[in-house]
A and B are shown apart, each in its own frame.
Chain A
Amino acid sequence: MIIGLPHYLVVSGILLALGLFTISTRRNAVAMLMGVELILNAGILNLVAFSRFNPNPVGGQVFGIFGIVLAASEAVVALAIVLQLYRAFRSVDASESAEMKE
């Protein structure tokens, strides 16, 4: 059994579907953020897997690192927003805090 590009793409596709399912079903904002992280991981895995089967493997990996940095900054800002949401509404339920004002 030879492990090639399709194997990694299948793993990435399954991760993306699981992340999509998490985002669309969860009502807890932190759990939705976990789904976003799953989807970002699937995308970065795709970048790195394609770069392995490219004559020049560096470009895809550089953009994978950029993706990881973007995920980190996104997580920081999103979690700060979630904390403020909790401070305002005493809940992190995304459907309970539908209005913009307190």
Chain B
Amino acid sequence: MTTSGIGAVVFYALMALTIAGGAIVAFSRNIVRSAFALLATFMGVAGMYAMLSADFVAIVQLMVYVGGILILILFAVMLTSHISEVSVSNKSMGVFSSAVMAFAIACILIYTAVTVAWPGHITPAQPTTAGIGNALLSDYVLPFELISVLLFAALLGGVTLAHGGPKNKKAPEAEDSNGEAK
């Protein structure tokens, strides 16, 4: 979107929110802080979708990422980490070589993004929800059906794994009862 003035201010605010959140996720020593910084990143990216006149994608981002994935990640953090021990919860290793690699990749990507003359075909901003609905049921009906199968498989897999699986279902209970009996 070729915006100027107030649009540029909003874009830079969203960019600061997104990158600050990502930086806290990457560098914070406290995993709970990382999880909440992920919220800032998701909100910033949703705002960028809105600026790109992708209104439906922005709402889906808010509902699925902020309302679903972030809550799941927070649950996992609270359930698994010894969150009171801050120094143990979010250990890092190989920081220097990873930083060099990430910095090199960021430099290559930014150089490419800035120097290549991208085709700038600008159409006036329009709501795209109706177009997405039509496309999902006409051009993209096969991926749409496949993704519903994938969602069902992920649902079953998640429930089966988290429940302990059909074979292991009895084993922990037996161990627990043995432990209690002894």
Co-assembled chains A and B: yes
- Closest CB of chain A to B58's CB: distance in Å? 9
Q: A55-B121, A92-B81 are in contact. Are A75 and B26 (CB under 8 A)?
A: no
Q: Which of B23, B73, B135 contacts A30 (CB 8 A)?
A: B73
CB contacts between A and B, total, < 8 Å: 260
Q: A55-B121, A79-B72 are in contact. Are A61 and B132 (CB under 8 A)?
A: yes
B53-85 interface bits toward A, Cβ cutoff 8 Å, 1 = contact, 0 = none: 110110011001100110011011101110000
Q: Which of A24, A52, A95 contacts B101 (CB 8 A)?
A: A24
What is the interface of chain B, defined by CB distance below 8 A to chain A?
A: 1-4, 7-8, 11, 15, 18-19, 22-23, 25-26, 31, 34-35, 38, 41-42, 45, 48-49, 51-54, 56-57, 60-61, 64-65, 68-69, 72-73, 75-77, 79-81, 89-95, 98-99, 101-103, 105-106, 109-110, 112-114, 118-123, 128, 131-132, 134-136, 139-140, 143, 147, 150-151, 153-155, 157-159, 161-162, 164, 172
